[in-house]
Each structure stands twice: as structure tokens, then as C-alpha cells.
Amino acid sequence: MKVMANKRIAISEAKKIIDKYFIEDPKEMPFEAILGFENVFYQERKLSNCLGNMIRNGKRGIITINSDVNYQPQKRFIIAHELGHWLMHKDVPNFNCDDKMLHEWHNGSSKYEVEANTFASELLMPKLLFEEECKGKNFSKELISSLSEKFLTSLTATAFRYTDIGNESLMLVFSRDKFARWYKSSSDFEFAFYGKFPIPSDTITAAYYRGEIDNRTTERVIAKKWFTKDWNLADDNYLNELIFPIKSINACLTFLWQHPVKF
Ligand SMILES: [Zn+2]
């Protein structure tokens, strides 16, 4: 039986670190000092098959980040994730975390990875600060970009956080090679996906994979084109679709949210 992740504990552990080290601006997270105080030796070196790992040796730990990781927002997230393992998962001697694990957020995935990701997300994008930044602003690509600059977090991690606690109800889809790998919806989003699926044609995301479009403007799509298994959807039910192409890995982040009906 799978054990459910305890997100509440992960969030409270992150808050403890923020309080303990007087973190006011998470962008300035003093990782070196924190790791030192928490008895963790930090290093960067070549790792095969994973982006980061944590080794526990009694009261001491070692966190290693793959030296191929150069993108600062990604590096920060991995360090925070490994720190989460160190603080919360004392019964496990070591973790080797790859890209897939760093994207596990749902029940059904590994409890340990979901907790480490939840910890990292709360540490780098504290709920109150994040909500403050979203207040009074409509969802847009500019908002996600500015949040990711403000918190020095990747677009993917920021998009995830926004889907969780932002002020627009939406569905976030991560696809790669024209295939939806994972998706996440706000708690009150109306429609649902089932299982993994190829990106439906007649969508903006499909047009991006065909090389037909290259921009990131918001466009209107018929909701049924995405939610093919939702039989209750009317033909004139529309959604907004916004894409963030990640060309380096032939991937795409897609946001879908309700299109206000105007007559
Ligand atoms: Zn991990």
C-alpha cells in the first residue's frame, strides 16, 4: 500500500527554516550557511542518472548537486529538495533524485519525493509572499514570468505553485514529444483529464509541436478539444490556452483556464 505524503509536515518544516534563519527574501536564501548549521556538507560534481543526491551518515549529511546543472533556479530547487529529504526523512540513508522525481507532486507518486518537493516549493515561494505578489493581478504569461524572476524559481516550479495557490482556477499540462506527461489543476477547476494522453490536435500546443507557432500569446480554444472524455461539455464552451515552449527538450507547459463567456 502506498503511504500518502504528509504535505502539512513538509510545509511546517519549510516554515521552521524560514523562521530559524530569519529569511525575509527567499531569493537571497543563504543555502551555504543553512546547510553548514544543519550539519550538511555541500558539493557539486558529476553525477550519473540523477540531478542531486543526499547521503546520511549519522548526524552528518552530504548533499551533492550534479555539476551539469547550471541554471540557477533549477539548482536552488534541487538543493532545497535535498535539504527537505535531510530534515524530514531520517529513516532513509540516501536519495538519488532525477528530473522525474523533482516533478512528483501527486499522491500516488513517492511519498518522499512529494514531501521534498512540497518543502522546496514552500521554502522558495512562501505562501504568504507568493499570494501577496499575485494579489489584484490577472493571470497572464507576464505574471508567471515576473513571479519566477521575483522568487528566482524555474517557470515550471512557479507555474506549479501558481496552480496550487494563485488566484485563477486553471489546469497546467506538461507535455514532451507531443505527449502529456503530467498535469495539475487548481482544486476548483471544473474539468478533468484521465491517464496520460497525446496532445489533441486543434489545440495551440499541438500547433507548437507542428512548428506552426512560436509565440506565447493567449488564444481561445474549444474546451472539448482538450477534454475529449468530458461528455457534458457543450461545443460552445471555451477555454483560454497559453503555452510556454521549452524547446531545448521538445517540451511545453500549457495553461488552460475558463474563457469568460460574453454575448
Ligand atoms: Zn528526492
In angstroms, the CA 122 to CA 47 distance is: 26
3 state SS of 205: helix
Residue 262, pLDDT > 60, answer no
Alpha carbon dihedral 70, 71, 74, 79, in 10-degree steps, equals 40
Q: Per the domain annotation, does 86 fall within a domain?
A: yes
Ligand 1 center from residue 53 Cα (angstroms): 7
Looking at 127, 154, 188, the residue that finishes a domain is 127
Q: What pLDDT, on the 0 to 100 scale, is given for residue 216?
A: 65
User: Do 177 and 121 share a structural domain?
Assistant: no
Ligand 1 center from residue 226 Cα (angstroms): 32
Q: Per the domain annotation, does 158 fall within a domain?
A: no
Q: Which three cell numbers stand for residue 33?
A: 550557511
- Asked if residue 204 lies in contact with residue 244, where contact means CB atoms within 8 angstroms, the answer is no
CATH of the domain at 101: 1.10.10
Tell which residue, 131, 224, 220, 69, has the closest CA to residue 143: 131
In angstroms, the CA 81 to CA 115 distance is: 9
- Asked if residue 204 lies in contact with residue 184, where contact means CB atoms within 8 angstroms, the answer is no
In angstroms, the CA 91 to CA 116 distance is: 14
Looking at 101, 127, 153, the residue that finishes a domain is 127
Q: Per the domain annotation, does 143 fall within a domain?
A: no
Ligand 1 center from residue 174 Cα (angstroms): 19
User: Do 186 and 118 share a structural domain?
Assistant: no
Indicate the pTM of the whole model: 0.88
Ligand 1 center from residue 17 Cα (angstroms): 18
Ligand 1 center from residue 35 Cα (angstroms): 17
In angstroms, the CA 142 to CA 122 distance is: 22
Measured CA to CA in angstroms, residue 218 lies from 139, 163, 184, 259 at distances of 11, 17, 19, 11
In angstroms, the CA 135 to CA 166 distance is: 9
User: Do 189 and 94 share a structural domain?
Assistant: no
Q: What pLDDT, on the 0 to 100 scale, is given for residue 93?
A: 95
Q: Per the domain annotation, does 48 fall within a domain?
A: yes
Tell which residue, 83, 167, 165, has the closest CA to residue 75: 83
Q: Per the domain annotation, does 160 fall within a domain?
A: no
Q: What is the pLDDT of residues 99-147, one digit of tens each?
A: 888 877 766 678 999 999 999 999 999 999 999 999 999 888 899 999 9
Packing angle, helices 7-20 and 111-124, rounded to 10 = 40
Ligand 1 center from residue 195 Cα (angstroms): 24
Q: What pLDDT, on the 0 to 100 scale, is given for residue 104?
A: 78
Q: Which domain holds residue 210?
A: 169-258
Residue 202, pLDDT > 50, answer yes
Q: What is the pLDDT of residues 187-197, one digit of tens each?
A: 888 888 888 89
For 227, phi and psi rounded to 5 degrees?
A: -95, 75
- pLDDT above 70 as % of the chain: 96
- Asked if residue 78 lies in contact with residue 95, where contact means CB atoms within 8 angstroms, the answer is no
Q: Per the domain annotation, does 215 fall within a domain?
A: yes
- Asked if residue 252 lies in contact with residue 204, where contact means CB atoms within 8 angstroms, the answer is no
Q: What pLDDT, on the 0 to 100 scale, is given for residue 54?
A: 98
User: Do 120 and 13 share a structural domain?
Assistant: yes
Q: How many residues does the chain have?
A: 263
Positive or negative CA dihedral for 23, 78, 156, 16?
A: negative
Number of domains in the chain: 2
CATH of the domain at 227: 3.30.450
